[in-house]
Amino acid sequence: MTRQPVRSPGRPTLDAVAARAGVGRGTASRVLNGSSQVSPQAKAAVEAAISELGYVPNRAARSLVTQRTDSVALVVSESQERVFGEPFFAGVLRGINSALLETPLQLWLAMAASTEQRERVETHLTTAHVDGVLLLSLHDEDPLPRMLRERGMPFVLGGRPANPHPDDFFVDVDNASGARKAVEYLIAGGGRRVATVAGPQDMEVGRARLAGYREAVRGPELIGYGDFSEEGGAAAMRSLLTREPRLDAVFAASDLMASGALRALREAGLRVPQDVTLVGFEDAPIARQCEPPLTTVHQPVEEMGRRMAELLVARIGGDPVGDSHVLLDTHLVRRASA
């Protein structure tokens, strides 16, 4: 006869689970903590008892035993408007979440764009609250990596830091190579006065994509600076057209900035790609939605998030890590803008 689930009055205890399974309390505890020092029969009996009694582990008590919180933090050094409004962050978050689904770890998200936000976040980045930290979109002189090293907290960076510490772990895309491919493609298509809408220069990603442009460009450099936003791209494009009205090709360091540049080119009476060819970077959904659709550099943002999470899980568990510096490839996606 199949045993039916039995709900004891009040919250079931670990002792009740052990009694139901016919094992000692220590054995039941080892099953809950994922120990391999348990026979398959005992493991199956404990798991059946947990299901029958509706037992939910007391996370606070469990953390006293395991010295783990089963939580990790994703800290993004940007405003909530950017985090929730730009597809890059959503893609990285999807990748992180897909990797953590295979673990008991829970993720909490925090923005640290202002001094007040950063101070509040810093108080929670301790072993009492989280087992590890993922850092994304760091700007120069951000104090969080140094603080986490001093606290002995495992962390992984999304993006190559400006001045890597020997013990840093990071995942990035090959930004310089991707930018170089984009500019070379524009030149191969006939571009003679190739401009760039560069990203912020207080971030390594902005500097790397500008470096890739400089490696490939022929003739004078035509550089405008944006902040990875659509409006920033439009403003930089207007400035470039004022300085060089005859420019005939543009590499924008993000698709959002490329969409803003496209708007500014239209306002100036220029057609894309007939008068000016245009290439973006990221292969975000907006690249397909533009008219004409944007040629762009694809970066694997979901893989970036997944690899960040996998590195952090390995660091938390003390598992061997093959490479602490992961650099992901990019490739050009050709559409109608160039």
Same domain for 296 and 306:
no
| Domain total in the chain | 3
Together in a domain, 78 and 59? no
Give yes or no: residues 85 and 154 share one domain: yes
Q: Are residues 115 and 101 in the same domain?
A: yes
pTM of the predicted structure, to 2 decimals: 0.78
Judgement on whether residues 204 and 120 belong to the same structural domain of the protein: no
Beta bridge partners of 110: 75
Confidence bin at 36 (pLDDT 50/70/90): low
Closest CA to 308 of 324, 297, 331: 324
Percent of residues, the chain, with pLDDT higher than 70: 92
Question: Nearest to residue 153, comparing CAs of 129, 136, 133?
Answer: 133
Judge whether 5 lies within some domain.
no
Residue 55 lies in a domain: yes
pLDDT in tens, 182-241: 999 999 999 999 999 999 999 999 999 999 999 999 889 999 999 999 999 999 999 999
Q: Give the CATH number for residue 113.
A: 3.40.50.2300
Rounded CA separation 193/190 (Å): 9
- List pLDDT tens digits, range 39-87: 889 889 988 988 888 877 655 445 444 456 789 999 998 888 888 888 8
C-alpha count within 13 angstroms, C-beta hemisphere, residue 334: 5
Q: Is 3 within a domain?
A: no
Instruction: Tell whether 318 and 276 lie within a shared domain.
Output: no
What are the residues whose beta carbons fall under 8 Å from the beta carbon of 224, sequence distance 6 or more? Answer: 195, 196, 197, 198, 236, 237, 239, 240
Give the range of the structural domain holding residue 89, as residue numbers without chain letter. 71-172+302-328
Assess if residue 2 is contained within a domain: no
d(CA 239, CA 237): 5
Say whether pLDDT at 7 is over 50: no
Domain identity same for 48 and 189? no
Q: What is the pairing mode between strands 325-328 and 155-158? A: unpaired
Please give the backbone phi and psi of residue 129, each rounded to the nearest 5 degrees, phi first: -115, -35
Whether 338 is in a domain gets the answer no
**DSSP calls for 116-133:** HHHHHHHHH-STTT-SEE
